[in-house]
A = this chain, B = another copy of it.
Amino acid sequence: MARPKDADPEQTRATILDAAEDEFADRGFHGTRMVAIAKRAGVTHGLLHYYFDSKDRLYEQVVGRLFGRHRDLFERLTCGGNSLTPRDLVLESFDLFWAHPNQVRIMLWEMASGDDRVERSMKAFYDAMAIALSTLTADTPRTSEPGRDPRDVYVSILGALVVYFFRDPAIKQLFGANRFSDEDRKRRRAHMAALLDLLL
């Protein structure tokens, strides 16, 4: 049938975006099939092209939506001339990742591929990291101690920040069934804060 009574293009569009986000996060760009997205969204795959033209465009939209949230967060944090401290960056990002785990997972696929398909979308995130890094370099007195290069500190924190969200079986097993529970969130967040205290 075509055009059911309650047809709402914006709703359909969002449903497709959601389905695409899940599929891309699960299987990466090359691993996802347009028909799989369509099936998840409950439509035929022709409709994906009707709304989003091509697979590449759809992916861009998905990534853009995810990283747009991050960009908004950074703008909020730095509005009124506030400087973005590394601590803010990390803990706020943690909260955002928790709310939108697909973002980390798509980041992970991108970090694995290393090509700059979505470089423009992730630019805001990278820029924010660069700002935080410069703060880090300026504020950290232990810069010249061995093993204390701020770049290394920064990369390690980044690793600790994102790795928790990976779907790796070993990590999954480690935290068991109540992973991603609220209690879990509190514990991991406290750990990240403690890590920042140690390293910054």
- The chain A residues found within 8 Å of chain B, CB to CB, are 26-31, 105, 108-114, 116, 119, 122, 126, 129-130, 133, 145-149, 151-164, 166-172, 174-175, 187-188, 190-195, 198-199
Contact call A166/B112, Cβ cutoff below 8 A: yes
- Could you list 18 examples of A-B contacts with CB < 8 Å? A26-B113, A29-B31, A111-B166, A112-B112, A112-B167, A114-B172, A116-B169, A126-B169, A145-B194, A147-B187, A151-B174, A152-B187, A152-B188, A154-B174, A155-B164, A162-B163, A163-B163, A198-B199
A134 to B144, CA, bound (A): 34
B152 touches A158 (CB 8 A): no
B113 touches A111 (CB 8 A): no
Q: A110-B168, A168-B111 are in contact. Are A155 and B149 (CB under 8 A)?
A: no
- Number of identical protomers: 2
Q: A163 to B167, Cβ gap below 8 A?
A: no
Contact of A147 among B28, B148, B194 (CB under 8 A): B194
Please give me the residue from chain B that is nearest to A25 by CB atom.
B112
Most buried by B among A114, A145, A161: A114
Nearest chain-B residue to A188 (Cβ)? Answer: B152
In the complex, the answer to whether B112 meets A108 with C-beta atoms within 8 Å is yes
CA distance A164 to B163 in the complex (A): 12
Ranked 4 nearest A-B pairs via Cβ: A114-B167, A147-B194, A159-B163, A159-B159
Across the interface, do A168 and B114 meet the contact criterion of CB distance under 8 Å? yes
B-side contacts of A166, CB under 8 Å = 111-112, 114
